[in-house]
Chain A
């Protein structure tokens, strides 16, 4: 069974700092990996989706990388802002037709003004 782990569980940084969030998964047979943002008590907002054949994806200040063979992904946030404060979740979709996502437990980010 796929297990997804995110480290650290919580992170607090001063505004303007660059930061990296980590995600690891136990089964490398994935179809894609997705990073989400979740604000308290709210649903999920998709940030980046990386197909298994890709190495990275970028959107604005966000850059996500994927090393499928080692079962790792990182989300890099440049020049952090207080508005980036949220919980960040990574999720993987397996290669089989199950189509559901396996989620990590998230990293709670606080950016201090």
Chain B
């Protein structure tokens, strides 16, 4: 069974540009989570999508947004990139609202570098 996949693995952008990161959950999972792991700050929760809807949002500005598609894959968009957005962005999936106690399974991440 395929795990959570993310693309691209690396992304280099300049300040002010937009970045789009993609995530495909494990088959059968309806929930997708996005986390940011910036150097020295640890893993911070960004967004949670389930059944196509945004269910919860972390303490990040509105220029961090995303969506979930009917096949449960997800996109994270970061607009007006700032240098401090450089980080490893991790996507995770779980069985969703019906499986609250389910483990979250993580993808390998997308490393975003903003120059």
Contacts and interface: CB of A to CB of B under 8 A. Distances in A.
Interface string B86-115: 001010101001001101111111010000
B43 interface: yes
Contact of B45 (A43, A100, A104): A100
Interface residues of A, number: 24
Contact of A42 (B35, B56, B94, B109): B109
A41 interface: yes
Interface residues of B, number: 27
Contacts of B104: 34, 46, 101
A105 B42 contact: yes
A103 B42 contact: yes
Contacts of B97: 99
29 contacts: A31-B100, A32-B101, A34-B104, A41-B109, A41-B111, A42-B109, A43-B4, A43-B90, A43-B106, A43-B107, A43-B108, A44-B92, A44-B106, A46-B103, A51-B101, A91-B43, A98-B48, A99-B94, A100-B33, A100-B45, A100-B48, A100-B58, A101-B33, A101-B35, A101-B45, A102-B45, A103-B43, A103-B44, A106-B42
Interface of B: 4, 31, 33, 35, 42-45, 48, 55-56, 58, 88, 90, 92, 94, 97, 100-101, 103-109, 111
For the complex of A and B, list the 4 residue pairs with the smallest distance between their C-beta atoms, beginning with the closest. A103-B43, A100-B45, A44-B106, A105-B42
